[in-house]
Amino acid sequence: ARENRNRLTQIMLLKSLLQVSVGFQCSNMLTALPSAFLDRLLSAALMEDAEIRLFVLEILISFIDRHGNRQKFSTISTISDISVLKLKVDKCSRQDTVFMKKHGQQLYRHIYLICKEENNVQAHYEALYSMLMLISIELANEEVMVDLIRLVLAVQEIAQINEDNLTAYNRCALFALGAAYLNLISQLTTVPTFCQHIHEVIQMRQKEAPYLLPEDVFVERPRLSKSLDRLGPEVFFWQSKISEVLGGSGYNSDRLSTPYIPQLTDEDRLSKRKSIGETISLQVEVESRNSPEREQRAPAEEITYETLKKAIVDSVAVEEQERERRRQVVEKFQKAPFEEIAAHCGARATLLQSKLNQIFEITIRPPPSPSGTITAAYGQPQNHSIPVYEMKFPDLCVY
């Protein structure tokens, strides 16, 4: 009963956070998803509870979707013409590039690990598809696009090799997810040879293995096959081929030809967590174990709805304060008289010079005399510096 109450509390917490994220608008992902908040959210994405994992994916999607494209990816399909979706696409900003350089590998790793969960259902694959597409549209430059293609090919390998003993449905769903993503991303890149390779594989699947496409998998009664270990090479997307065709169009072929291998952390390697409380405590435990100052580390802050909400609101408040400060500085230099600006700058220069003089006086002051002080002509004690080579040391000090 207690476990059930804890689970209901966690779901209520995540539902509240989802409501906040749906109405939250922020152009800068660094302020929308600061490191501490993102780390805790992604940790919850690795929990064994399928419903909680789905909530976390939906929350991340709400933050990333800044142009209202989410609903256009609600159905997974191999659409032949992406223009009918009427996607709103902007060029990746500098802040988005910084965000992906900082957190990209972390996002890829969690997407990869979520794909391996055996209790995923259609809603999870739809959320994963939406997340992959939204990252491609909202946050992707050429490097991110290459990494996402590598990630999806690695997901195809999960289903192909099946080291995790996934069910036939899970494997077919991963194959279908990869096909749908590569179909759209090839049209976004507008590289004809890339589009051709993806189209050829999809056509071959339609003829030989329709159960590897979303139209046959993500339906009320999915058509599955038990002979997934006997598939021919013609129904797979090949990394070597994709690397060749994209490399010929200026993409980084060396990076494209390198298989994606997630860098698992200590937290990922440990057993699955059953609650958000376990997730947070485990995260703090891993951080403490990796820190040389673990004995001095303060206890972990308890995570609540108010904590998560405050993390979002505070980051926006800081951004607003910084924007207001910059506006005031610009306004002052535009409207203030020259004499006032000159006096202000002169006062700052004088203060700086005063501080420098104090520092120089302290650092350049001659050392005290080993023979003590002598008295100046006016009766004031005065330090007298003696060269080192003239100093007389006690016998015991001579080495």
Q: How confident is the model at residue 288 (pLDDT cuts 50, 70, 90)?
A: very low
More confident residue, 88 or 175: 175
The predicted pLDDT at position 295 comes to 41
Q: How confident is the model at residue 384 (pLDDT cuts 50, 70, 90)?
A: low
- CB crowding 271-307: b at 16 or more within 10 Å, else e: eebbbbebbbebbbebeeeeeeeeeeeeeeeebeeee
Cα three-residue angle 61-67-71, rounded to 5 degrees: 60
More confident residue, 36 or 272: 36
Distance CA 82, CA 190 (A): 11
Hunting for tokens 């900082």 — which residue is that? 102
Name the nearest CA neighbour of 168 among 223, 114, 125, 208: 223
The contacts of residue 183 (CB under 8 Å, 6+ apart) are 78, 79, 198, 199, 202
More confident residue, 283 or 65: 65
Distance CA 324, CA 328 (A): 6
Q: How confident is the model at residue 192 (pLDDT cuts 50, 70, 90)?
A: very high
290-313 pLDDT, tens digit each = 444 444 444 445 555 566 666 666
Q: How confident is the model at residue 218 (pLDDT cuts 50, 70, 90)?
A: very high
360-378 pLDDT, tens digit each = 666 555 545 444 444 444 4
Q: How far is CA 293 from CA 282, 285, 289, in A?
A: 17, 13, 9
Global confidence as pTM: 0.69
The predicted pLDDT at position 145 comes to 95
Domain ranges of the chain: 2-287, 310-367
The predicted pLDDT at position 131 comes to 97
Comparing 17-26, 166-175, 214-223, 280-289, which segment has the lowest mean pLDDT? 280-289
The contacts of residue 227 (CB under 8 Å, 6+ apart) are none
User: Average pLDDT for residues 108-113, to the nearest whole number?
Assistant: 96
User: Average pLDDT for residues 122-143, to the nearest whole number?
Assistant: 95
162-181 pLDDT, tens digit each = 999 999 999 999 999 999 99
